[in-house]
Amino acid sequence: MAKVSIFVGSMYGNAENLANDSAEFLNKSGHEASVIEPASIVDVTQAENILFISSTTGSGDIPDNLLPLFLQMQSEFPMLTGKKVAVIALGDSSYGDTYCGAGKQIDALIEELNATRAQPRLDIDACEYFEPWEPAEPWLQALAKNL
Ligand SMILES: Cc1cc2nc3c(=O)[nH]c(=O)nc-3n(C[C@H](O)[C@H](O)[C@H](O)COP(=O)(O)O)c2cc1C
């Protein structure tokens, strides 16, 4: 059993729903997952394992509800050494170069913070999947084994 803190960035609820469904799935898989919202830097430093689930807004930007935490992580730079961290990015490939920009920014930051990647990032394209759960489920199944 592993404890997983889920941090979510969402404008219109897609990533939010996926975060809640992911917590339920991980709990059914025998882990102890919860969506932390609003989250502060202390939630990050105290987390055992972390799952970021974020959509992209604007032009490759991080949603307003996750941005303060992201900026705080950038400025305070809490090392994530020894923590297993994974990222699910929601986006839309019709946005071109900024596709999944928020998830990519988070992914780059956790790399700099020396996190152990539990899984390669999952990018979910709204053009391809109407329902993000479809690609997320097998990815979460693999994550549940890696925790
Ligand atoms: C105003 C707006 C801007 C967006 N900008 C981007 C973008 O730059 N890159 C991208 O991949 N997706 C972009 N998207 C697509 C969303 O990330 C995608 O629809 C996602 O599923 C929304 O999830 P949410 O409801 O959790 O915010 C944008 C969507 C909207 C409405």
Question: How confident is the model over 63-110, as pLDDT tens digits?
Answer: 999 999 999 999 999 999 999 999 999 999 999 999 999 999 999 999
User: How many Å lie between the centroid of ligand 1 and the Cα of residue 38?
Assistant: 20
Residue nearest to atom 30 of ligand 1 (CA): 57
ipTM strictly over 0.95?
yes
Q: What is the pTM of this model?
A: 0.98
Question: What distance in angstroms lies between residue 52's CA and the mean position of ligand 1's atoms?
Answer: 16
Locate all alpha helices (DSSP H) within the chain, ordered by sequence.
Answer: 14-28, 41-46, 67-76, 101-112, 133-146
First-to-last alpha carbon distance for the chain, in angstroms, is 8
Q: Is the CB of 9 under 6 A from ligand 1?
A: no
